[in-house]
A and B are shown apart, each in its own frame.
Chain A
Amino acid sequence: MSRSDALGEFEHAVLAAIAHLDDDAYGVTIGNEIESRTKREISVGALYTALDRLERKGFIISTMSDPTPRRGGRSKRHVRLTPGGRAALRKSRAFLDRMWDGLVLDPRKARP
């Protein structure tokens, strides 16, 4: 995995969330998806910084949708995984799996 292809933890989470959401991925749903799974509140600034970086790396593409009244007449920025994004997600997971392979941590220390 080259350096530019490497995903940070948050980027990994964002890509995975987009993959889960499939056609319905945009700022709100991605944020909700990550929050519901990780129970961690994320800031919209961090999310858009990550989306920005992922788009630059070619892992996602974004399109603007029509505005809706619930959003104060503003458009959504829908994002979709590119084949490169899928591959990066898969590689990142394999990278972590290999690191975890054969590793057993002390269960007492592991528990919070």
Chain B
Amino acid sequence: MSAPPRLATALMSWSLPPAERTAVLGDLEESFAARRDVSGDGAAAAWYWRQTLRSIVPNLVRRLRRRDRLLVVDAPIVRGLSARRERRSARGRRAHLSFRLLATATLSLALAVNLVVFAVADAIWLRPRPVAEPGRLVIPLSERNGVLTGSGGMAAIGFDQFLPPSVFDSVAGQIQDSGSSASTQLVHVSIDGAPPNLETLGVTANYFATLGVRVLGRDFTAADDTPGAVPVAIVSDRLWRGTFGGRADVLGSMVHATPVPVQVVGVAPDGFRGVRLGEREDVWIPEAIVPRLAGADTRDPAMLIPIARLRHGVSLAQAQEVIARTQRAGAPFRRVLVPADRVFGNSKQPTVVVNETAIGPLVALMAAFVLIAGSATLMALTTVHLERRRREFATRLALGGSRARLVSLLGRELAGVAAAGVAGALLLAGWALRVLPAFDLPGGIDLSRLDLIVDWRVVAAGIAAGLMSLIGAAALPVARASRPRVVEALGTGHATDAPQSAALRRWMLALDVAATTAILVLAGLFVDSAWNGTRDSAGFDAMHDVFVNIRMRANNLPDAAKDLANRHSAATFTRLLDGLRGLPGVTSAAVGFPPIGPDRQRELSSASFQISSAPGRSVTTGVLTVSPDYFDALGMPLLAGRPLTSADAGSSTIVVTRSLAGALFPDGRILGQLAHAGTRSLTIAGVVSDVAFGSIASGTTAAYFEVEAPAAFTVGSQLPIVVRTDRPDRAVSEITRLASDAFPDAARIEVTTGGQLVQNDLGRQRLAAWFFSGFGSVTILLGICGVFGLVAYAADSRRRDLGIRMALGATPRGLIAVAIGGGLIPVVLGAAAGLLLAATVAPLGSTLLVGIESRDLTTYAIVFAGLVGSSALAALIGAWRIQHVDPIEALRAE
């Protein structure tokens, strides 16, 4: 059996475009065999030669034309020649898969962190409010001593005087529910069949009209907003659909509700739950009927938060100027107009203005750092991955593939990674947003009261950030990979490290480590702050205390009956205290508010109580009225003098904290001295240890205490109790039961453990610690992956080099040390840069730090050591494979 003529085959093969050789030579051979079978060898050979000679010219023409366009990146022959070797080998496939997984995970993590931050910003700042022209709605808040102290409540009758029609189209009001001192104005309308705890808000008749919110059914009328009117209500769309099945006949009908049946007259539009951030109202009722429903004195007008709509063409500044003119000179506070969509507040939290100047930019900056770290890791990964495929790319280009086609192929591959990364980030962010509100993070803005959702803005931001970071991370590696030195790449094989790409990866690693270090330092500072605050900065033994506050309803009884009721309450209160002392584990039960919490904070900023010992020496101080055993219950030791007793009740004898004593009488002679608070002269009987007043973070510890007998507290509307117990968490339910048995008609009974109080007080620090630790763990993960990848790849790609060194007598241990050293240099440089970065950025958040400086050396040192140590470990694992390098095999391999 003869084969096709060799010379003809060689000529044919030479003339053909490389990509066509297999198919054409195969065809010729097949036809040759068929002809040989039929016509014999000679005829077949003659035919073969004829074919060759007739085809040479067209073949060469095709070959010239094809150089630029044919069978380039997708050509099967290319896959056959190079990719098969790279990709289909088990190792290539593993490398391909691990690149995709790592890159996707990196992108997902980095994006998810940013999406969570963006979702919070979206909920607070970006999402449009469901009111007409939100930019024209303002809420006047009161400001004392430069501190916004909450909504400056006023009666409706004062609206025209303080908010003149010359600048405002209309002014509506809603019951001042923020904070806790307004219990007599709070009312909960519970509708039968609806979920419990519906939030109810009393509003003026023009509330919806002023907000520009269209009500289904009818709006409130002036007649509805009179004290004796039939109780009417407008309900939320959520309640209407959920409880009433969206039935139209509900409108105008009376529904069973507590405390009284109400007539539902309208339904607010979908999505509207109140004008301030954090409001979740379901029922609106006219404010005039609120005192009646709350059991308060109906003769007093309700205090309202005004909501004003600026006239067209009137700016906030102009309106502010007009408001300033209406105020008396020398008034203790100043009214400040704040855009309604910047005000956060509801019946459970005090009003705060959302302009987080300290932590907002810091969090945004950190999120950006995470994205940078992620992009740097991604860039390093892409470089390594494309470097591995250098030979494949060189083959494609050698076969005539154009660079554009190669870039488009890589672009398509990376687009897949981007899509998977964005999808992963959205899933992660969705999960984080479900988990985030479950963390108790008050002390500012309660995240559980904001609608943290992945809406189209978040998705759009995710896709944009994903594409941007991928383009940013992949542009350089792709540009480099698409112009390999063809001859070199084909000659040296796939596993040789290109020096430029190694340098690029080292830079990327250093960038990643710098971002990681900065984030970890901040995380460390905030973790320390939260820890410090919880441990000892409170100044009292918070971990063994339970605080109770019984809010009484105001009674409208005549004075004689009031006396009787008070005496009855006093007896009940004394019995309750005895009952609490009898509970297992309870060592004492005293009367008094906790020294920290939003109420004390407000007192401190609004009352700014001054106490002085001598002219010119005056100190701003906190003050609490307590029962004599209060200090025992809080575990505050008496440092000097005598304890206060019941005999001191109502006198002007006080006990001061050590800080206050030091500030008033620096010479140390304190006991028996007189101090002056306003017109009162106070005698100092003793000194107790320092205690944080208002907030742990504020660092205020100057305070004094007066005593009253427990019974005297029942005249007020709140009965504050502190219970000292071994097991606060277990005691809560028992304490609550005793208190509600004793005062079944109380408006509200609040029971909080000291631990919760401290946690709430340190909400921001904990939020920051949580955020930065989260960021930190993500970036350290990215950083460690980067170090591992760098060292492992270097070890892998330098096998030949290492093999030669071993053959020349180097030990594996020595080579491992060299490899680790090479991997660690960028880490150390990056970490040093990161420390500098942190030292620059951390002072931004210094107001939030408790008991630690923003440039705390220990934290910086721990982060540096931890990062370098973990990187060294990752490098060691990466370099371990050097042990398995066989010099003979390495020398033979290429």
Contact = CB atoms under 8 A, between A and B. Distances in A.
A27 B51 CA distance: 13
A68 to B, nearest CB: 8
B23 A76 contact: yes
A76 B470 CA distance: 40
Contacts of B810: none
Contacts of B59: 45, 48
A28 B34 CA distance: 10
A63 B25 contact: no
B57 A45 contact: yes
A76 B26 contact: yes
A86 B23 CA distance: 24
Contact of B25 (A41, A43, A49, A74): A74
A72 B61 contact: no
Interface in B18-49: 20, 22-31, 33-34
A26 B30 CA distance: 11
Contacts of A32: 31
Given A45-B57, A64-B76, A71 B26 contact: yes
A53 to B, nearest CB: 9
A49 B26 contact: no
B54 interface: yes
B55 A43 contact: yes
A50 to B, nearest CB: 9
Interface in B46-99: 50-51, 54-59, 61-62, 66, 70, 76-77, 80
Contacts of B24: 27, 44, 48
Contact of A49 (B30, B34, B51, B61): B61
Interface string B778-789: 000000000000
Interface in A54-103: 63-64, 67-68, 70-72, 74-77
Given A74-B26, A75-B26, A44 B77 contact: no
A31 B24 CA distance: 12
Contacts of A68: 26
A24 interface: no
A27 B27 contact: yes
A44 B55 contact: yes
B26 to A, nearest CB: 3
A8 to B, nearest CB: 14
Contact of B23 (A27, A31, A45): A27
A28 B31 contact: yes
A6 interface: no
B23 A75 contact: yes
Contact of A31 (B20, B26, B27, B50): B27
Given A28-B27, A70-B33, A76-B27, A45 B22 contact: no
Interface in A12-58: 26-28, 31-32, 41, 43-46, 48-49, 52
Contacts of A43: 50-51, 54-55, 58
Q: Could you say which of A41, A43, A44, A70 has the most chain B C-beta atoms within 10 Å of its C-beta?
A: A44
Given A31-B31, A43-B55, A64-B76, A74 B62 contact: no
A44 B62 CA distance: 13
Contacts of B22: 64, 67, 74-75, 77
Contacts of A45: 51, 54-59, 62
A27 B27 CA distance: 6
A23 to B, nearest CB: 17
A72 B21 CA distance: 12
A45 B76 CA distance: 20
Contacts of A27: 23-24, 26-27
Contacts of A75: 22-23, 26, 76
B27 to A, nearest CB: 3
Question: What is the size category of the interface that chain B forms with chain A?
Answer: 20 to 34
Nearest to B27: A27
A71 B27 contact: yes
Contacts of B56: 45
A48 B25 contact: no
B29 A72 contact: yes
A45 B61 CA distance: 10
Contacts of B30: 28, 70-71
Contacts, number: 82
Contacts of A49: 58, 61-62
A83 to B, nearest CB: 20
B53 to A, nearest CB: 9
A77 B25 contact: no
A53 B23 CA distance: 16
B26 A72 contact: yes
A48 B26 contact: no
A44 B59 CA distance: 9
A87 B51 CA distance: 32
A46 B24 CA distance: 11
A46 B23 contact: no
Interface string B760-790: 0000000000000000000000000000000
B372 to A, nearest CB: 45
A37 B758 CA distance: 96
Contacts of A31: 27, 31
Contacts of B33: 70
Given A63-B76, A64-B22, A64-B76, A26 B27 contact: yes
Interface in B350-393: none
A68 B33 CA distance: 13
Contact of A46 (B28, B58, B77): B58
B745 to A, nearest CB: 84
Contacts of A28: 27, 30-31, 34
Contacts of B50: 41, 43
Nearest to A63: B76
A26 B29 CA distance: 13
Contacts of B25: 72, 74
A64 B74 CA distance: 12
A63 to B, nearest CB: 7
Nearest to B21: A74
Nearest to B59: A45
B17 to A, nearest CB: 9
Nearest to B60: A45
Contact of B28 (A26, A44, A67): A44
Contacts of A71: 26-27, 29-30
A44 B15 CA distance: 12
A74 B54 contact: no
B77 A64 contact: yes
A89 to B, nearest CB: 23
A67 B26 CA distance: 9
A49 B15 CA distance: 13
A73 to B, nearest CB: 8
Contacts of B28: 44
Contact of A74 (B29, B58, B66): B29
Contacts of B76: 63-64, 75
Contacts of B31: 28, 31-32
B782 to A, nearest CB: 42
A48 B59 CA distance: 8
B58 A77 contact: no
30 contacts: A26-B27, A27-B23, A27-B24, A27-B26, A28-B30, A28-B31, A43-B51, A43-B55, A44-B24, A44-B55, A45-B55, A45-B56, A45-B57, A48-B20, A48-B58, A49-B61, A52-B62, A52-B66, A63-B76, A64-B80, A70-B30, A70-B33, A72-B25, A72-B29, A74-B23, A75-B26, A75-B76, A76-B26, A77-B22, A77-B23
Q: Which 8 A-B pairs have the closest CB atoms?
A: A45-B55, A74-B26, A27-B27, A77-B23, A71-B26, A45-B58, A43-B54, A64-B76
Given A43-B55, A48-B59, A70-B30, 6 more contacts: A27-B24, A27-B27, A41-B50, A45-B62, A48-B23, A72-B26
